[in-house]
Structure 1
Amino acid sequence: MAKRLIPLLDRVLVEKLAPPTKTVGGVLLPETASKMSEGRVVAVGPGRRSLNGDVIPVSVKAGDTVLLPDFGGTNVKLDSGSEFALYRDDELLGVLTS
């Protein structure tokens, strides 16, 4: 039976994206090149409660592409063999748009 992970509170489940190895023009990038760490949001929790009891929703939604910090998050490996990372909503650096 395959397991499915549903994040709690303000947690965000992210699938890390592989950094590009070529530029749009076809130039190969060395491994030592500065790379942005990107990920695709797979699932989000319902949000966290404020001091007065209201729910503060998570700022991203499933399908968003986000910029990840270099360190942090909890690595998670599910039955499917895919590797994910679990972050708090406030740890994400931004949402990437095209």
Structure 2
Amino acid sequence: KEKPMQGEVIAVGPGKRLESGETAKMSVKVGDKVLFTKYAPDEVEVDDEEYLVIEEEKILAIVRD
């Protein structure tokens, strides 16, 4: 069994669009440390910097002090 990966949230989107047309409130916020599997994120490059993009549903846990 593989250990989860850990990362820090540096940006969040507006939230998932619900069937009702409303936007669901995000559970994570900038600065949160999160755990996720290595298969969860998509790798993207912006201005020669690599980032991981993860759907909120794929986050295993939020680690808060």
What band does the TM-score fall into relative to the shorter chain? 0.7 to 0.9
1:86 partnered with 2:53: yes
Task: State the Cα distance separating 1:73 from its structure 2 match.
Answer: 1.5
SS in 1 for 2:34: strand
Task: State the Cα distance separating 1:35 from its structure 2 match.
Answer: 4.8
How many residue pairs end up in the alignment? Answer: 64
Corresponding residue of 2:62: 95
1:41 partnered with 2:13: no
Following TM superposition, the consecutive aligned residue runs of length 4 or more in structure 1 with deviations greater than 4 angstroms are none
The structure with the largest alpha-carbon Rg is: 1
Q: Distance in 1 between matches of 2:41 and 2:61?
A: 15
- Per the normalisation by structure 2, the TM-score is 0.81
- Per the normalisation by structure 1, the TM-score is 0.57
Q: What stretches of structure 2 of length at least 5 have no aligned partner? A: none
Spell out, residue by residue over 1:24-64, the C-alpha distance to the aligned partner (whole angstroms, 9 max, x if none).
Answer: xxxxxxxxxx6541000010110122222221022101110
Q: Distance in 2 between matches of 1:61 and 1:36?
A: 20
Identity %: 33
